[in-house]
Amino acid sequence: MRRRLALTCALLCTALLIAACGSSSSGSTNPVTTELSYFPSGSPLVVSVATDPNSAAIKNAEGLLNKFPIASLGESALMSKLQQLGIDYQGDVRPLFGNPIMVGATTPTFSGGTASAGYLFAWVTKDASKLKSLISKLGSGHSIGSHDGATLYQAGTTTLAVDGATALLGPSTAAVNAALDRHAHGGGITPTQYSGTFTNLSQNSLMEAYGNVTALLSQSSAAKARAVPWVRSLKAYAVTVAADSGGLTIKYRLDTSGASLTSSQLPFSPSGTPSLAGSMPITVGIVDPAHIVGFAEGIEQATSPSGWAKFEARQAVARKKTGVDLNTLLNLLTGNLIVGSDTHTTVARAQVSNGATAARDLAKLVSAPKTVFAKATSTKKLGGGFYDIREGATTITAGVVGNQLLVGKASPAQLRSFGAASTTPAPGAQGSVAFRVGLTQLLQLTLKQAPPQIVRSILNSLGDITGWLASTASGTLGSATLSVH
C-alpha cells in the first residue's frame, strides 16, 4: 500500500515532466489561490509548476526542448513506465492538466545545524472524475474517513486527501488535516503575499518558487545574521524560470521591505551600468566596488566585533608604520571593477579615483606586508609599479597602471594586457553587477578528457550564460540566461 501511494505522488510529479510546466500566473487565479491556501503563510519554500499544454510558456519550452533530441528519449521512458502501471497518458493523465501543481516545505526545524522540513503537495486538477479514476487504478492506500469534506487515504503515515478535483498529499494525517483546516478557516499564503514578492519578475514562466524567510531568520542560530540591517529586512524571496527559443532564463527577487534601508546598507551600488572586457570564459563587471567593500566591512562589524577589532588594530599599526592602511587604497575604488578568469589565471582591473595616489599607497602597503595583509608572508618588487604578495603557496601580483589598479594570479604582462583590453557595456544588464560565462569554453578548459558524443552534441547547442544583479531599498533582483543555439 505504501508503494502504491508513493506511486500516486510519483505519477502526479511525472505530470510536471511531461507537461514541461507553465506559469501559475497565466490563466485563472482561483486555482492558485486555492492551492496557496493549504500552505502555512510562513512556508520557507513553495514551488509552483503549471501544467497547461496549451499555454505559451509550455509551447516555448517545447520549442526549446526540440533542440535536444535526447529529450524525446526521456519522454518515451516516462510513457513506458505509465503503461507498465496500467495508466494511459492521454486518457488518464492529460485530462488533469491545466492548473499549476504546488509542492513545498511547510515547517522548517533545526537540530544540530541540520535543517529538515515537513512537505505538502497540492493540485487542483481539471477533472474530478478522472482524478478519482486514477487514484482507484493505483489503489492508493485505504480510506480512513474524511476531514473538512475531503476523503482521506493512508499508506503507512503518508496521507492523501481528495476533495473533488483537488488532491492533497502530506507526510501524516495530522499534516494533511492541518492543511485542510487552513484552507477552510484561514492561515494559508494569501494571493497578495505571494504575488507581491514576484514584483518585477517574469510572467508566463515555466516554474515559480516562493519562500517566506522570517521564520528562518527568527531562529536563535540566525541571531548574528540579523545584526546586519540588510539581512534583518529580508521577508521573502521569489524565483521564476522561463524558456523561449533562445534559451532559459532564471530570475529572482529578495524582498527587503521588512525594514528601512539606506543606500550604504545595500550589498551593491543602487546605480550605474557595468562593463565587461577581455576574452576569459568567466567575466564579472561591478560598478563602485568600494560600495561592496563597505558592505562587507559592515557585516564584519555587526557579526564579529572581535574580528573587526583585530582588523582595525592591524590597520592602525599599518598607518603608524606607513602612513596609510588597506582602506586608504580600497576607498579609491570608485569606478568599475572587471574580473576575468579561466579557473587557472584570474585577473582584475579596477578604476581608481586617483592613479598617482593609488600607486603611492600600494608601494607603502607592500613595505609592511605582514602588518597590512593578515596572511601575507613576504612581498617582492617586480618593477614597472608591480609587486608580488605571497600568502603561503599563493602569490598575488598587484600594480597600478594609469588610473587602474591591476591585481590577480597572473604575470604583470597578463595584467597589463587585461587592463588594456577594450570594454563593452554588459548586454541587458539592469543593475550594477553583470557577468558572462562562456560555458562551452569553460568546459573545454576544465574537462580532463573528451565527453561522450551525446554530451558533446548537447554542449555544442549551449551558448553563454549572461546575467545581472540589482539592489534597491525594497529588494535585490537578479537574472541569469543560458542561451541555446
Tell me how many degrees the CA angle 195-25-131 measures, rounded to the nearest 5. Answer: 120
- For residue 240, the tally of other CB atoms under 10 A from its CB is 24
When pLDDT is averaged across residues 275-294 and rounded to a whole number, the result is 94
User: What's the first-to-final CA gap in the chain, in angstroms?
Assistant: 47
Mean pLDDT of the 311-339 span: 92
Dist. CA 299–CA 302, nearest whole Å: 5
Question: CB-based burial of residue 243 (10 Å sphere; 0-12 exposed, 13-18 middle, 19+ buried)?
Answer: buried
Residues 148 and 34 both lie in one domain = yes
Is residue 211 a part of any domain in this protein? yes
Tell me whether residue 119 is in a domain. yes
In a domain, 247, yes or no: no
Cell numbers for 219: 531562529
The answer to whether residue 90 scores a pLDDT higher than 50 is: yes
132 and 17 in one domain?
yes
Looking at the domain assignment, is residue 240 inside a domain?
A: no
Give the three cell numbers for residue 414: 597578463
Section 449-458 average pLDDT: 74
238 located within any domain: no
Return the pLDDT at 117: 59
Does 75 score more than 80 pLDDT?
A: no
pLDDT at 443 over 90: no
DSSP 450: P
* Residues 280 and 381 both lie in one domain: yes
Residue 24 has pLDDT above 50, yes or no: no
The confidence score (pLDDT) of residue 469 equals: 96
Task: Tell me, yes or no, whether 183 and 68 share the same domain.
Answer: yes
Arithmetic mean of pLDDT, 41-69:
83
Higher pLDDT, 459 or 166: 166
278 lies in the same domain as 209? no
Q: Do 271 and 410 lie in a common domain? A: yes
Q: Are residues 169 and 303 in the same domain?
A: no
Q: Which residues have CB under 8 Å from 15's CB, separation 6+?
A: 51, 93, 96, 97, 101
Coil, strand, or helix at residue 36? helix
126, 125, 131: which is closest to 151 by C-alpha?
131
Residues 291 and 174 in one domain: no
Our measurement of the distance from residue 344's CA atom to the centroid of its chain's CA atoms, rounded to an integer in Å, reads 25
| Spatial CB neighbours of 455, under 8 Å, sequence gap ≥ 6 | none
Strand (E) or helix (H) holding 441: helix 439-446
Comparing 214 with 454, which gets the higher pLDDT?
214
Q: How far is 353 from 350, CA to CA, in rounded Å?
A: 10
User: Rounded to an integer, what distance in angstroms lies between the CA atom of residue 424 and that of residue 273?
Assistant: 11
* Same-domain check for residues 220 and 295: no
With cell 480512513, the residue in question is 144
Res. 305 pLDDT band, cuts 50 70 90: very high
Binning pLDDT at 50, 70 and 90, where does residue 140 land? low
Residues 191 and 281 in one domain: no
CB-side exposure of 385: number of CA atoms within 13 Å? 20
User: H or E element: which one contains 136?
Assistant: helix 128-138
* Segments forming the whole domain that contains residue 101: 2-227
Asked if residue 255 is part of any domain, the answer here is no
Helix, strand, or coil here: 289?
helix
Domain tally for the chain? Answer: 2
**pLDDT per residue over 369-399, tens digit each?**
878 777 788 889 998 999 999 888 889 999 9
Q: What is the SS3 assignment for 304-350? A: CHHHHHHHHHHHHHHHHHHCCCHHHHHCCCCCEEEEEECCCCEEEEE
Q: 230, 227, 189, 194: which is closest to 209 by C-alpha?
A: 194
Please determine, for residue 118, whether its predicted confidence score (pLDDT) is greater than 90: no
Q: Which helix (H) or strand (E) holds 193?
A: helix 191-197
| Sign of the dihedral defined by the CA atoms of residues 289, 293, 294, 298, in that order | positive
Mean pLDDT of the chain: 86
User: Is residue 242 one of the residues assigned to a domain?
Assistant: no
Lowest mean pLDDT among 43-47, 79-83, 114-118, 479-483: 114-118
Give the model's pLDDT for residue 184. 94
In this predicted structure, what is the pLDDT of residue 73? 61
Domain boundary among 202, 227, 252: 227
Q: Is the dihedral of CA 218, 222, 223, 225 positive or negative?
A: negative
- Please determine, for residue 401, whether its predicted confidence score (pLDDT) is greater than 70: yes
Secondary structure element (H or E) that encloses residue 249, with its range: strand 247-255
Q: pLDDT-derived band of residue 108, with 50, 70 and 90 as boundaries? A: low
Picking from 485, 473, 470, the residue whose alpha carbon sits closest to that of residue 201 is 470
C-alpha span between 212 and 198 (Å, rounded) = 12
> Which has the higher per-residue pLDDT, 283 or 58?
283
Which pLDDT belongs to residue 5?
45
Query: Please, are residues 37 and 120 in contact by the beta-carbon 8 Å criterion?
Result: no
Verify that 414 and 340 share a domain, yes or no.
yes
Half-sphere exposure of 387 (CA within 13 A, CB side): 22
